[in-house]
Every structure is written in C-alpha cells, then in structure tokens.
Amino acid sequence: MKKVINGFLTLIGFIGLVCLLTFVTGNSHLIKAVTNTYLLGRSGPSIDEYAIFDNRIVRKSTHPVSWKEKKPTVLNGLLPKEEAYHKSFNTAAFLVIKSDTILFEKYWENYSDSSLTNSFSVAKSFIGLTVGAAIQDGYIKSVHQPIYEFLPEYNTEKGRLITIKHLLQMTSGIDFGESYGDPFGFMAKAYYGKNLHEITVEKLPIRIAGGTWEYQGGNTLLLSFIIEKATGKKVAEYFSEKIWQPIGAENDALWNLDTKNGREKAYCCFYSNARDFAKVGKLYHQNGFFNHLKVLPESYILDSKRSVNLEDSEGNLVDYYGYQWWITEFEGETIHYARGILGQYIVILPEEDLIFVRLGKLRSEEKINHVPSDLIEYIKMAKRLK
C-alpha cells in the first residue's frame, strides 16, 4: 500500500511539474490542447467544441428571413456515389440554394438545420465583410488607412507601411506562423490560449508590406482588433448589428473567446448552421445588398472579389484570393467562396444564381489549382442538383 501511495504521489508531483513548466515557458495552452484532443482520441480541433471555450452570442434578427423550399423529388437527390463521397469526408450538412429556393438539403449523423458547428476559417471572410461595414460607418477611413493609427504597436519603420488592405489581402509582411501541427506555434496558442491580443501584436513585420502574399490568421486577428478599437464595440456585437441581423439570421450564433468577456477568435470559431451561413453567401453574391436592403458598400465588395495578383513566398502568382475570400474558376465561371480547415464552405456561383454550403469534419489534402479537391466534387454536385 505504501508503494502505491508513493507512486500516486510521484505521479501527482510529475503532473504538477509539467503544469508548472507549461506556465513558466509560456505554453499553458498545451494543457487545454492535450486535454481536448489526444486525451479524447483526436489529433486536432472538432466542429462541436464551443462548450470548452467562453463564447459571445451573435444575436439573431428580430425579422428573420426564411428560404423558399422546393418540394423534394426522387430526381433531385444525391446519387449513390455522391452519398458515399459525403460519408467518406464526414459531411454534417449539404445545402444547395438557387434563386432563394432550397433545391437540396441533407444532414448526417445527429446534425440539423439548427445545429451549431464551427466554421473555422470561414470566419475570416466574415471579418472581411465587417471591415466593409466599419468603412461604411466612417469608423475606418478606407482600406488604405495605416493600421498603426489603431494599433500603436505597429508605429515602427516597417509597421507604419502596413494598411488595412494589406491585412485583408494577407500581404502584411508579418510572419505569425500558420502551422496547425506545431503545438508550440502561434495557431495552437491562438486557439487554446488566453492572451490573444498579446501574442498577436508582439509579431512585427519582417518584410515590407505589399510584397508577398502569405495566408496567415494573424492578419485577420489584427483586423478584428482594429474593428473593436474603431467602433468601440465587441466584434460579435458589431457583426450582429451590421450583418447577421440585416440578413435575417434565424438563429443566434456563437463566437469563441480567448477568455470570459475577452476577444473573439476572429480567424476561426464562428458557430452557426447551414441556412444562416448561406445568407452570408447571398449578401456577398448580391455585392453588399440583401434583397433590396443595402448592408455593405457595393464598391468594397466588388474590390474584395479582385485577386491579390502578387506572388507568394515561392514565387507563384496568387490569383485566387481577395479580401479574406477565395476565388476560383470552374467550367469558365468565376466562383467566390469562404472555406474552413475541415471542409466548411460557403460557395457562390454567380452566373447561375447558385449558393451552397457544406459543413463537416474532413477536407481533402489534395489541391487542384489551389482548390481542395473535395470542393470541386461539391461544386459538381451542386451544379447537377440545380
């Protein structure tokens, strides 16, 4: 018995030492990360874990808007091979809308049209829209305004050259780090840590802004800090007021915070459902209008749909990214879309007045012309279902 007690005390002491070391070395996020991944049999985040974080409510509309619904027929269902494809990537929701009418809608497992699941980097696109709202309201002068006017940490030689546009286009010259596989990296600390502002603004530019495109969530976080500073409102509150409510969102959404009453994890972690996500797609499709209501500046949205047209760090031309939204072409049609790391997509095929949303737990690692190969399959399905 004495050996058992001594062994138990040794284990407790070891765990305590590990915890102490994580705090001393600035890696306290590892405790939450390991507890909510490896100890649960996962290697990364889940679409269903808003409960492990503090959240801020994104209030729904007081005048909700519903999609029209087409009566389902045998002919507009998924083909067996399409159904198998969705199951292979653990799809949670697939919603196809044409001209404001739901053509197809299906949920897998226990998900439904009111489920709250994480959109991950789709939230970046939401922040891009929110910047447009702040410009329209006069809180931000233009996309050319220097960011140091809001964030004094960037009142440095290189920092003074960074504008709002550079953050929107991922060309700030700041190296935050974007590796999701590094437990000690920026993204792990941003997702599981509690000092989001501190770990972000301590990153200063290492290159001149506007020279190289590099996709990094830290740029989006800086945009969110600027929105909060400029408007005097929390990001979720301002987004709700200027976008979520005007588009007739039928359900409250959630945005993960770094601490209780803290800051939104703006590069990710917006939880909602397929039907309301599709309304954001409609807003983007209509260039800032929702039905006949002007929500955002049309000129800003049109600018956001133009590609960066700069080179990435490997010298490749980036003609597939705008202001926090992605761009591609399929069968001669320009397509705009928001995307998340586990296969979350809001996709607009403007020539066909077609919008679809796919939510789920997996995304293909293969890319074709910078587009995840699974997205190409969903585009094919949506076009067939129309």
Whether residue 81 has pLDDT greater than 90: yes
Query: Do the strands 68-69 and 101-107 form a parallel or antiparallel pair, or are they unpaired?
Result: parallel
Q: What are the C-alpha distances in Å from 284 to residues 220, 354, 359?
A: 18, 12, 19
Average pLDDT over residues 274-286: 98
Whether residue 102 has pLDDT greater than 90: yes
Average pLDDT over residues 329-357: 97
Helices 122-136, 217-231: inter-axial angle, 10-degree rounding: 30
Summary mean pLDDT of the chain: 90
> Where are the alpha helices (H) located in the chain, listed in sequence order?
2-24, 29-35, 80-88, 122-136, 164-168, 186-192, 196-201, 217-231, 235-239, 274-285, 298-304, 373-385
Give per-residue pLDDT as tens, 42-58: 557 899 999 999 999 99
CATH number of 50-385: 3.40.710.10
Whether residue 174 has pLDDT greater than 60: yes
pLDDT cut 90: percent of the chain above it: 82
73 — pLDDT class (breaks 50, 70, 90): low
Average pLDDT over residues 272-301: 98
Every domain of the chain and the residues it spans: 2-35, 50-385
Residue 142 neighbours by CB distance under 10 Å = 10
Residue 60's identity, in one-letter code, is K
CA 337 to chain centre: 11
